[in-house]
Amino acid sequence: MVSEITIALDLDSVLADVMQIWLEEYNTIFNTKIKKRDISDWHIHNILSISKQQITDLFIMVWQKRWQDIPPTSNDLSDVIIQLQDKGFRISIITKRERVTMPFVAHWLDLNNIPFNDIVFIFDDVSKSHFPFFLLVDDSPINAKEVVTPKQIIIFDQPWNKSLASYTRISKLNELIDLV
């Protein structure tokens, strides 16, 4: 069964360090100096004086206007994913986002030479846990709590998921190689 050999990788803040550019834009708009380490809650509106809609709109703008500036979370993503594929794993990129950002995500993946077997765009509130994979690498505390055995999750370390103490975590994707 395909799901038994599929590793699902989240895009934002696992492959693409989008918060770096998002915060540049936020700081310019609001004349602040917020750093990524200051975002200690998944729900950004609990930390910053900004509405949920403004958060979404800013993410859309970053993907539409600055997708080329979004750095990968590390420079070896392509090599790491190829190593995982060489080990026999299918790589599925799974991302929850606004539909208008789809083409820019595709361009970003091409620009950064990110190999994958398939990509899943989620536009509604369906949990990532409903999709076929045996392992999810994600930064979301919400997704962490929704993944149940036999599926597994590894947390990609970010300031907003430090409360997830009982989960296996990695800070770079290359750490995954020794875990699978």
Q: Record the tokens describing residue 111, joined without a space.
A: 């620009």
| Known catalytic residue at 12 | yes
| 10, 18, 28, 79 from 96: Cα distances, Å | 9, 14, 26, 25
Nearest to residue 95, comparing CAs of 114, 75, 74, 68? 114
Give the CA angle between residues 12, 58, 139 to the nearest 5°. 20
- Identify whether 150 is preceded by a cis peptide bond (ω within 30 of 0): yes
**166 exposed, middle or buried (CB, 10 Å; 0-12, 13-18, 19+)?**
exposed
Is 41 an active-site residue? no
Which residues does residue 128 pair with via DSSP β-bridges, in sequence order?
Answer: none
- Active-site positions read 10, 12
